[in-house]
Amino acid sequence: MEYRFPEGFVWGAATAALQVEGALDADGRGPSVWDVFCREHPERIFGGVTPAVACDHYHRFAEDVRLMKEFGLTGYRLSIAWPRLFPTGDGPLNEAGAAFYHRLFDALTAAGIEPHVTLFHWDLPQALAERGGWENPATVAAFVAYAQTCFRLFGDRVRRWATFNEPSWMILNGWLTGLHPPAWRDPAAAVRVSTAVLGAHARAVRAFREGGHLGAIGIVLNLSPVYPATERPEDATAAQRADGILNRWFRRPVLHGSFPEDIWALYEDCRIAPALTPDDRQALAEARPDFLGVNYYYPHHAVADAAETSFHLNITGDRREDCVFALAGLFRFVKNPTGRYTDWGWEIYPEGLYDLLKNINEERPDLPLFVTENGIGLADRVVDGRVDDQARIAFVREHLQAVHRAIAAGVPVRGYFLWSLLDNFSWLNGYRKRYGLFFVDRLTLRRIPKASAFWYREVARANGF
């Protein structure tokens, strides 16, 4: 075997509540911002679809856990839907919603699959959004209370907690590009929300420690390395800025409890620097994570000449459409002329994952890392009852090779969670962009293992390939 992984390496797959559960009105669940956004703006979602059914995992979780076991997974990353436990975000616990997660964690425990649980994967209770969302300190308090409830209810079976999934991507799209709810384009608000969310993360970590709960707590960050597109010094500066705004602004407070000085100064110049309370600073300084979850899909290549601010995300899977991301006067991302791209315009660059893991390790040498998401969206099709997704196998193999290289270089990477277990509701991309090990038939919701599922099972069993 050429690539043997360390003993106990977690072979997992990941999902998120809103993307797989469906059953949005079942058993007293309250609406989330995404339920409302999809209902009110079908024109913004490919195919005008909604997450109302998704994979119906809410009713089919037992079958899904059986499949995980049969296909050799040792870990499952999922998120809890806050509005299932607290339909309006705070107030009394919805016991029926909690009962679903009791059933799910019992099934995972019985199957010997370790749950890695994210508390917040973007499905903010709508009622909290209507009261000011993350900018209202009451939302932060409600999040901490919700987190404490989860630790108390599920802590006997869950020992791996992540507070937030990808705050950077959520805030970037919610408050800057306007693509995700609440669909604002307001840089000052984006910065305010970023510190509120990071403060909520820190306070949830504090609550976990003060509660004396067993296990580990961390956060999941989306970290796309940013490379200068040319050797021009101005492009190097642009890359550093982009990296600062998108990555370091989130990574530094999480790893070191303080904000990057260059970006703080930039926000001061733009008069959008946030106001932090002494308790914000203290909570962040104390909230050292036990591990970091890294989501990696693609890198960026930056140039300095950005005359205007513009954003475009390819949600059609039409190769002729390019993704656009430019912030006037700061940076613009360009395509890599020699790069390989998916149909949705995301570059395939496994080396980026190696660079990322290495860099984080240099910054925090002993911090255990998990690749909490990595995968490729394809327009998979069933032919003669089978899904032959060789492109996914190649993608995962190359990225696992990068992980293996990082481990060999001394980086403590403890597990890999493929995005995703199931073809699911891919946010703005609707259902056409498929990521699963298991194909989900949209009419019958039948699960069909793809070629990648059989391949991944062998890798998990052999602990390498």
What are the residue numbers of the active site?
166, 373
CA dihedral 314, 316, 322, 325 (to 10 degrees): -10
Establish if 419 lies at the interface with ligand BG6 (CB under 6 A). Answer: yes
- Report the alpha-carbon distance of residue 378 to residue 389 in Å, rounded: 8
Structure tokens at 219: 């956060």
Q: In terms of CB distance, is 64 or 373 closer to ligand BG6?
A: 373
In the bound complex, what is the minimum distance in angstroms from residue 373's beta carbon to ligand BG6?
6
Establish if 74 lies at the interface with ligand BG6 (CB under 6 A). Answer: no
- Report the alpha-carbon distance of residue 301 to residue 253 in Å, rounded: 24
- In which residue are the tokens 């997992």 written? 12
4 to 33: interface string for ligand BG6, x by CB under 6 A: ------------x--x--------------
Cβ count within 10 A of residue 374:
22
Binding-site annotation, residues? 19, 121, 165, 297, 419
Binding part of the chain for ligand BG6, among 33-41, 161-169, 245-253, 406-414 by CB under 6 A, reads 161-169
* Helices 261-269, 233-243: crossing angle, 10 deg rounding: 90
In the bound complex, what is the minimum distance in angstroms from residue 428's beta carbon to ligand BG6?
6
- In which residue are the tokens 């925090």 written? 364
Binding part of the chain for ligand BG6, among 22-30, 67-75, 162-170, 355-363 by CB under 6 A, reads 162-170
- Selected from 114, 343, 373, 389, the binder of ligand BG6 by CB under 6 A is 373
Segment 292 to 311, residues that bind ligand BG6, using CB under 6 A = 295
Query: Among positive and negative, which fits the CA dihedral 36, 378, 394, 351?
Result: negative
- Report the alpha-carbon distance of residue 221 to residue 464 in Å, rounded: 26
- Report the alpha-carbon distance of residue 296 to residue 90 in Å, rounded: 33
In the bound complex, what is the minimum distance in angstroms from residue 418's beta carbon to ligand BG6?
11
Q: State how far the alpha carbon of 435 is from the alpha carbons of 16, 103, 379, 395, 438, in Å.
A: 13, 26, 9, 12, 8
Q: In terms of CB distance, is 280 or 373 closer to ligand BG6?
A: 373
Establish if 423 lies at the interface with ligand BG6 (CB under 6 A). Answer: no
Cβ count within 10 A of residue 390:
12
- Report the alpha-carbon distance of residue 18 to residue 333 in Å, rounded: 30
Binding part of the chain for ligand BG6, among 263-271, 347-355, 395-403, 419-427 by CB under 6 A, reads 419-427
In the bound complex, what is the minimum distance in angstroms from residue 376's beta carbon to ligand BG6?
9
Q: In terms of CB distance, is 105 or 120 closer to ligand BG6?
A: 120
Closest CA to 173 of 10, 33, 288: 33
In the bound complex, what is the minimum distance in angstroms from residue 315's beta carbon to ligand BG6?
8
Establish if 115 lies at the interface with ligand BG6 (CB under 6 A). Answer: no
Q: In terms of CB distance, is 94 or 426 closer to ligand BG6?
A: 426
Q: What number of chain residues touch ligand BG6 (CB under 6 A)? A: 14
Q: In terms of CB distance, is 19 or 195 closer to ligand BG6?
A: 19
Q: In terms of CB distance, is 347 or 373 closer to ligand BG6?
A: 373
The DSSP call for residue 71 is T
Question: For strand 331-333 and strand 324-327, is the pairing parallel, antiparallel, or unpaired?
Answer: antiparallel
- Report the alpha-carbon distance of residue 171 to residue 179 in Å, rounded: 10
- Selected from 169, 175, 259, 349, the binder of ligand BG6 by CB under 6 A is 169
- Selected from 114, 166, 235, 343, the binder of ligand BG6 by CB under 6 A is 166
Question: E strands along 205-318, which residues?
Answer: 216-222, 226-228, 291-295, 300-303, 310-312
In the bound complex, what is the minimum distance in angstroms from residue 122's beta carbon to ligand BG6?
7
- Report the alpha-carbon distance of residue 463 to residue 319 in Å, rounded: 35
H/E run at residue 212: none
SS (H, E, C) 329-387: CCEEECCCCCCEECCCCCEECHHHHHHHHHHHHHHCCCCCEEEEEECCCECCCCECCEC
Establish if 377 lies at the interface with ligand BG6 (CB under 6 A). Answer: yes
Q: In terms of CB distance, is 19 or 361 closer to ligand BG6?
A: 19
- Selected from 222, 224, 314, 361, the binder of ligand BG6 by CB under 6 A is 222
- Selected from 134, 427, 438, 465, the binder of ligand BG6 by CB under 6 A is 427
Establish if 165 lies at the interface with ligand BG6 (CB under 6 A). Answer: yes
Binding-site annotation, residues for substrate? 19, 121, 165, 297, 419
- Report the alpha-carbon distance of residue 195 to residue 426 in Å, rounded: 27
In the bound complex, what is the minimum distance in angstroms from residue 388's beta carbon to ligand BG6?
21
Interface contacts to ligand BG6, rule CB under 6 A: 16, 19, 165-166, 169, 222, 295, 373, 377, 419, 426-427, 429, 433
